[in-house]
Structure 1
Amino acid sequence: MKRIFPYLMIAFGASLWGIIAIFVKGLGEYGFTAMEIVAIRVISAAFFLIMIGLARFRNQLKLKTPVDLRLFAGTGILSIVFFNYCYFTTINQINVSMAVILLYTAPAFVTVMSFLFLKEKVDFRKIGAVAGTIMGCILIAGLTAGDSKITFLGILTGLGSGLGYALYTIFGKFALRKYHPFTVTLYTFLVAAAALIPVTRLWTKAGLFLSADVLLLSIGLGFIPTVLAYFVYTWGLEQTEGSKAAVIATVEPVVAMLLGVSLYGENLGIIQIAGALLILSSVVIVNLPSKRKNTGIISESQKLEH
């Protein structure tokens, strides 16, 4: 039991990510826009992270220089804000199941961007994973175009969420060279919150937060599929290999699919399932251990992407 416990924690953390639609759809029903829900998530998460930092990570609360805030403009605004906005929009546009599958196009984006910007090598395995991801997207988008629950905007923002998801890995690599993962996470959410508060003007909807349901959904969104999921996943990751953790984390779309079918009455066609399996298989392939030992940097940043 002791040996498999870390794997169970990784699966548990990924499962918490998979239930995020409950909070997103719940807040959407109260009239919050996708960008406002992103703001609620990052502000709530930043609050919890500050409390945890004061309790356990006091040495990781300070930046070495204020100039380093530019590192977190990449992780916080270009990735977290963009990724969450696209993802939450997709959840409200198409099936939850398909939204999370399109999110998992991220490894294909990471492969391409790592080759272009980080000069990482691309082997046949990675090429095959990218090709499988593209084919899966074609099956989901092209052959289900007649499905009223699949919209062009939903497909577009779904792919955007995958791109934003991937951008965290790229920007996160640079930040993690200089800072502890907790510091990166904290300042990512702080910068995102600072950018979104004036943009969304959430204070104009302060009255809605007097509702117990809205307050619980807001707190839950910042804590359960964000802070709690991160810490549970991180604990498991520290006890096992990054490549194995990345594969186990594909339980997230499975949980999202089950949630969509059981809670929201979504139906998945054979073509959609085939496309989903192609994308998930590509994720597994790209994370299979290679002959050369993994540095673990991608896995270190991947756990923060959500």
Structure 2
Amino acid sequence: MMSLSTAAILLYTSPVWIMIMSILFFHEKLDKRKLIALALAFAGCVLVSGISGGGMTPVGLLVGLGSGIGYGLYSILGTIALRRYSPYTVTTYTFIFAAIGSWFICRPADMFNKFSSSPDLGYLIMFCCLTALITAVIPFLAYTLGLERVEASKAGIIATIEPLVATLIGIVVFSEPLSFMSGSGILLILSAVVILSQTK
């Protein structure tokens, strides 16, 4: 439906949707600093993800934009939920419902067969648990804790450091080369975060 880089770019339209929804639902003020930071962060994500010449179908475009909106909705719904519940409660219920939803789109029988046929089941379970903890539970909990202290629109822009971190891990751990485009994207994302961190 589309290239991987295009899918990543559409996913990182989420700060745009967060800002729009924050203005509509929370009446956040849209100032020049946020607009500049948003533009820099999005441009940085485009450069880090890479610009591909691959085609895109209408369905792919809708799915990609839907992923950005859905990703952004966590900030909005999380902010609303934090008015009544703690970040730990919000994160717990988020993953409970995510697990239930995942159950309907995965193939439980295939998963059971793969686990049961594994020669080292204990290692596989430990690997899955650690992966879930490090790549999902801790990041989402940290983000939810941040939503208590930062406006949703700012949190969405700051979260664009995710592709930056992925690029740096690729360079350090997997010895991937740093292209001029990726380096420029990293600088743009960092500039966006610095702009948002400045006090008026």
Deviation of the 1:115 alpha carbon? 1.6
Deviation track 1:98-157 (CA, whole Å, cap 9, x = no partner) reads 95x98666444422321233221101101111222343355457x7436xxxx667x978
- Does residue 132 (structure 1) correspond to residue 40 (structure 2)? The answer is yes
Relative to 1, partners in 2 of residues 1:260 and 1:152: Cα closer, same or farther, differing over 3 Å? farther
Structure 1 residues 45-84: aligned runs within 5 Å: none
Q: Aligned to 1:145, which of 39, 49, 52?
A: 52
**Which amino acid in 2 is paired with 1:207?**
N
Superposition RMSD on alpha carbons, in Å?
Answer: 4.0
Q: Does 1:276 align with 2:183?
A: no
> Is residue 223 from structure 1 mapped to residue 133 from structure 2 by the alignment?
yes
Aligned position for 2:95: 189
Determine if the alignment matches structure 1 residue 171 to structure 2 residue 81. no
Query: Which residue does the alignment assign to 2:168?
Result: 258
2:196 to 286, 297, 303: 286
Q: Are the counterparts in 2 of residues 136 and 279 from structure 1 also a CA contact under 8 Å?
A: yes
Identity %: 40
Say which SS state the counterpart of residue 266 (structure 1) adopts. Answer: coil
Between Structure 1 and Structure 2, how many residues are aligned? Answer: 184
AA at the equivalent of 1:136: G
Superposition deviation, residue 242 in structure 1: 5.3
Q: Against the structure 1 CA distance between its residues 128 and 258, is the aligned structure 2 distance closer, same or farther, given a 3 Å change threshold? A: closer
Q: Which residue of 1 aligns with 2:115?
A: 209
Structure 2, unmatched stretches of 5+, are none
For residues 160 and 175 of structure 1, the distance between their equivalents in structure 2, rounded to whole angstroms, comes to 22
What stretches of structure 1 of length at least 5 have no aligned partner? 1-89, 291-306
Per-residue deviation at 1:189?
A: 0.9
Q: 2:171 is matched by which residue type in structure 1?
A: V
Amino acid at match of 1:123: D
User: What CA distance in whole angstroms lies between the structure 1 residues aligned with 2:69 and 2:183?
Assistant: 22
1:120 partner amino acid: E
DSSP 3-state at the match of 1:120: coil
